[in-house]
Structure 1
Amino acid sequence: MTELSRRELVTFLASLGIALPLGRAAFAQGTGGGGDPAPGAVAADAAAGTLIRFKEPVPYSFERLVEETREAAAKPYDPVDVRFADTLERIDFDQHNRIKYRADETLDLNDGKAPIRFFYLGRYFKLPVGINVVDGDTSRQLIFDPKLFQIPADSPATELPDDIGFAGFRILEPNSERDWIAFLGAAYFRTSGELDQFGLSARALAIDVAMPTPEEFPRFTDFYVGPSAVGGRVKIACRMDSPRIAGVLEMDVKKDGPIVMEIRSRYFAREAIGRVGIAPLTSMFWYSETDRGRRVDWRPEVHDSDGLAVVTETGERLWRPLNNPANVMTSTFGTGSPRGFGLLQRDRNFSNYEDDGVFYEKRASVWIEPKGGWPKGSVQLVEIPTDDEIHDNIVCYFLSEKPVAKGDAIAYDYRLTWAKDQPDRGRVGEVVATRIGRGGIPGQPRPPGVVKFAVDFDGGMVASLPRDAEGVEAVASASRGELGKVDAYSVKVDTAWRVTFDLKATGPEPVELRLYLKRGDETLTETWSYQFLPLAQTG
């Protein structure tokens, strides 16, 4: 069974605005997983046969879901009341972890290629979702039965009615207890990626992130799961609802090395919305090699992602190392109609993390590739202060330049890839490290207020450069302040090239820095686009 640390559960819940106190070290990702019953568990009647039961089949198609959602969005939002809220509140982390889904009741989908198990409701997931299994042009809703779960006799769950409902589901590796994709809470979903380690999350929409008004969290209300028309794949459709918008997200999922989701999304706005983030990703960044001065933990680095990568409409490739700012910071990267963007974990060296519990070096890089032509807009990055690894403090998404008005119908198709590396890496070299320290020259008096940057590039065209290559030039700029001592040279280790420069900038305002390598008229690297925060450096 995939082990998910309590830190990861707390991180996920914190992204929903839910606080959970720290405590026990480990949490099984499959809270409805198999295994022996807990002491005093209520056992199902084995003689009764399978407990999996369905309602009668009904017509199904993605187009039908879209039309039903369009009709629902034309009506006022009908909030769902939480049933037995007081009892569910008592099913806290520890109680929820004791409730296990019966392994012998695993739902067999796609000829054993996608075994499915389900999550129980609890304090952090109080609203039930509908689970439907698709067979061709029909679907059947799974009937909830508490006997599908091994529930300890002293659990508050024994006080709940027999129709309380499921909280979500997860899909396991064939013939294994390990899950590789899970849907639980709001409109979030995540996979274990190419390196089989859960990390950052994706979600359907991000509404009013970092706005003066509270963020709105849409939630998936119904799931439709079945085999894809393409052999070996799984297709998952998700109905979504929210006070100001409703929608359907359909993903055709391939799991073979990188996990690839071909996504179609259709949304209908009940009201005007100030900021609608498309294809949002949510991650955690505490600190990296960039900001050693702020490190308070024994581990060298702690982050699920270390940077935002963007390919603009013109083909420019940007790399923005992540920050842990003192205040909420929103950065906008004008892309036109982007070719792609995503949050990546480029550092794959275990010794740079030294965490043998959650293995940060194995966290997935997630890449969004628009399909069918997206409108003009920008990629936004929101960075939120954090003092620990238990909070998801990084969000990125696409924002159309056209605001969402009441009655708007919105359609976005894209490919979502969970992989070790960015799928489309191009020919240019990439940033592999960003370091900051005191400016000036060692052995000489250090000038006050001067900071030195060292940026390493490797791979692509940089890797093919001879170490004594001539004409390699660093092109650097700053939004304010003075740059000095700009130097580009081969590191003489492996194939990396390094650029160092000094920055003198007074005042607390952020400094936007840009840097790339060129040789004559040829661009050799992506553009390093960094936001330097003087207060963070001196704080």
Structure 2
Amino acid sequence: MADDGNIGACSGFLLVMRLIFNGNFFSHFHRCVLLVALLLGATAGAAHAFDFDDVAARARKLAAEGYSKPQKNLPKALTSLSYDQYRDIRFDPAKSHWRAEGLPFELAFFHQGGFFDTPVRINELQGTAVREIRFDPSLFNYGKNNINPKELGGLGFAGFRVHYPINTPKYKDEVIVFLGASYFRAVGKGQLYGLSARGLAIDTALASGEEFPQFVEFWIRRPKPLDKELTIFALLDSPRATGAYRFTLRPGIDTVVDVKARLFLRENVTKLGIAPLTSMFYFGENHRPNIDDYRPEVHDSDGLSVHSGTGEWIWRPLVNPRRLLITSFSSTNPGGFGLMQRDRNFGNYEDLEAKYQRRPSAWIEPKGNWGAGRVELVQIPTPDETNDNVVAYWVPDTPPKPGAPLDLEYRMLWQKDSDRRPPLAWVTQTRRGHGYRLKPDDSIALFVDYDGPALRKLQPDAKVEGMVNADGNAKLLEVTTYPNEASGGWRTAIRLRRIDEKKPVELRAYLRHNNTTLSETWSYILPPE
């Protein structure tokens, strides 16, 4: 075989080698051997760490294919577990991932069982390496359950949680958990788990039924010894949508989660819910049905806060309606929205076990321009506090076409004492009901309290007006605004009469002083009686 013969794909590289080595020292065989070594070296040099674009490529590929429903793999012993039986399967903290290495973050895992009947693949990223974290029954204690760990070899994990010290450096607290569909929730310092977030909501509260996308695979970057943040990638899949997500977790007084997402639709979707939040409202001072309960209030969140693209701040107190109630606030490029827990005193709840005063608020802060759309609030009747019956999310006016990417970024703040709120004044509580009246009538009374720096600067004799508007289903009978000497803020008392009991009433109010707006807008819905 001639030294300069045709050698296909090797010829270009051999020419380079010839120029370097003058063609005098290497036979064709030795040149090819060196070429292979160079190619291997080039490949190693070109290797890159797994990142968001890798997940996005998988999501795009999935979207171009038909949907494959995840296969259930539970043995009989795990399919019929009750809620308490499932909770009796506990991960062994001594076997937490990264504990032996003394890293700042640790991972713990959830066992499959009951409702969690499909496995979620979980991978660890270290440098350019991707390694699956495999299920092992020895990581769990099965409690009183009659389960033979030897029969569980083919299972996976249902989800995972992350631990990091936020309350004391001596203990790693649970700070975020991913478990079920695309649900996750987080806490900051001094907080207890309350409301949840989701990766995506599809057709929420539509008669056609809601679709629940699922995180099917995670990649978690191994932290360095001094890291204060953790990066988590996730692949989302559902019959009509796929998505790539990057979560950058920074635990602290306010736990921050920066989210980057790229979504692809397989089919058109009627309602696409971006950055959905899910919470519980049973009853409060503004809406207390005939319930025999010693507690003044029971809820994980007491209102929806919206910072519109025009700069207006809106507060909508939550209710527990008798029928499904859907309302929304249109906006272009919103400043943010969230389901908030503003009542922070133990006396608001008097519950020594649930400690609702420590449940976090969750604030969504868009990055970049989200365009035109609406913040939608769904409130569902619930007979008790065990059901999440409140959902809020952003709906873009123009959803992406099937196959076209939708890129979004936003920041999530899990807060307690530093909730996002307007700079001047805000609503602190809404109370419904009459005080003493000599002749009770069919009117409705509402009392709205405000507080904030702008009100604290006013003199008690300042002329503050409560500007109240009602829709066509109500007649305003009385509006009075006066200082609240107990709190240092101001109160507006409203009395009205509903015209049609079968229809809702929508009210809006704010405080004004010398033609200057002092407060956020109180936006209230009286559900049909």
Q: 1:137 corresponds to which letter in structure 2?
A: T
Q: Are 1:524 and 2:518 matched, yes or no? A: yes
Equivalent of 1:385 in 381, 387, 394: 381
Mapped partners of 1:281, 1:310: distance in 2: 13
Mapped partners of 1:483, 1:93: distance in 2: 49
**TM superposition shift of 1:157:** 5.2
Change (3 A) 1:58 1:141: farther
Mapped partners of 1:323, 1:153: distance in 2: 40
Q: Are 1:501 and 2:522 matched, yes or no? A: no
Mapped partners of 1:170, 1:155: distance in 2: 25
Mapped partners of 2:366, 2:407: distance in 1: 11
Q: 1:62 corresponds to which letter in structure 2?
A: F
**TM superposition shift of 1:64:** 1.0
Q: Is the 8 A contact 2:448 2:492 kept in 1?
A: yes
Q: Are 1:437 and 2:433 matched, yes or no? A: yes
Identity %: 38
TM-score w.r.t. length of structure 2: 0.86
Change (3 A) 1:214 1:292: closer
Mapped partners of 2:424, 2:282: distance in 1: 28
Q: Is the 8 A contact 1:244 1:271 kept in 2?
A: yes
Mapped partners of 1:95, 1:58: distance in 2: 44
Mapped partners of 1:479, 1:422: distance in 2: 34
**CA deviation map 1:391-422 (0-9, x unaligned):** 00000000001134322321110000000156
Q: Are 1:450 and 2:450 matched, yes or no? A: no
Secondary structure at 2:274 match in 1: strand
Partner of 2:353: 357
Mapped partners of 1:58, 1:217: distance in 2: 33
Q: Is the 8 A contact 1:95 1:155 kept in 2?
A: no
Q: Are 1:116 and 2:107 matched, yes or no? A: yes
Q: Is the 8 A contact 1:517 1:523 kept in 2?
A: yes
Partner of 2:369: 373
After TM superposition, list the pairs within 5 Å mapping 1:187-206 onto structure 2. 187-206=182-201
Partner of 1:30: none
Q: Are 1:89 and 2:82 matched, yes or no? A: no
Partner of 1:14: none
Mapped partners of 1:167, 1:363: distance in 2: 25
**TM superposition shift of 1:158:** 3.0
Q: Are 1:136 and 2:127 matched, yes or no? A: yes
**CA deviation map 1:288-320 (0-9, x unaligned):** 011234333221100000000000000000000
Mapped partners of 2:145, 2:378: distance in 1: 43
Partner of 2:333: 337
Partner of 2:320: 324
Equivalent of 2:468 in 466, 471, 476: 476
Q: Is the 8 A contact 1:58 1:140 kept in 2?
A: no
Q: Is the 8 A contact 1:92 1:124 kept in 2?
A: no
**CA deviation map 1:353-399 (0-9, x unaligned):** 00010100000010000001112101000000011000000000000
Q: 2:367 corresponds to which letter in structure 1?
A: K
Q: Are 1:148 and 2:139 matched, yes or no? A: yes
Q: 1:97 corresponds to which letter in structure 2?
A: R
Gaps of 5+ in 2: 1-46
Partner of 2:44: none
Mapped partners of 1:430, 1:59: distance in 2: 46
**TM superposition shift of 1:434:** 0.7
Secondary structure at 1:313 match in 2: coil
**TM superposition shift of 1:268:** 0.6
**CA deviation map 1:307-345 (0-9, x unaligned):** 000000000000000010000010011122210000000
Change (3 A) 1:103 1:437: closer
**TM superposition shift of 1:79:** 1.0
After TM superposition, list the pairs within 5 Å mapping 1:53-72 onto structure 2. 60-72=50-62
Equivalent of 2:156 in 161, 165, 176: 165
Deviates most, 180-189 or 430-439: 430-439
Mapped partners of 2:94, 2:468: distance in 1: 61
Change (3 A) 1:414 1:422: farther
Q: Is the 8 A contact 1:515 1:528 kept in 2?
A: yes
Mapped partners of 1:475, 1:124: distance in 2: 50
Q: Are 1:533 and 2:527 matched, yes or no? A: yes
Deviates most, 188-197 or 244-253: 188-197
Q: Is the 8 A contact 1:84 1:160 kept in 2?
A: no
Secondary structure at 1:147 match in 2: helix
Deviates most, 410-419 or 498-507: 498-507
Secondary structure at 1:435 match in 2: strand
Partner of 2:95: 105
Change (3 A) 1:154 1:200: closer
Partner of 2:300: 304
Instruction: Name the Cα RMSD after superposition.
Output: 2.1
Mapped partners of 2:414, 2:250: distance in 1: 10
Q: Is the 8 A contact 1:167 1:184 kept in 2?
A: yes
Partner of 1:176: 171
Gaps of 5+ in 1: 1-56
Secondary structure at 1:398 match in 2: strand
Q: Is the 8 A contact 1:365 1:422 kept in 2?
A: no
**TM superposition shift of 1:243:** 0.6
Secondary structure at 1:133 match in 2: strand
Deviates most, 484-493 or 142-151: 142-151
TM-score w.r.t. length of structure 1: 0.84
After TM superposition, list the pairs within 5 Å mapping 1:277-316 onto structure 2. 277-316=273-312
Change (3 A) 1:474 1:221: same
Secondary structure at 1:182 match in 2: strand
How many pairs align? 475
Q: Is the 8 A contact 1:194 1:258 kept in 2?
A: yes
Q: 1:133 corresponds to which letter in structure 2?
A: E
Q: 2:153 corresponds to which letter in structure 1?
A: D
Partner of 1:414: 410
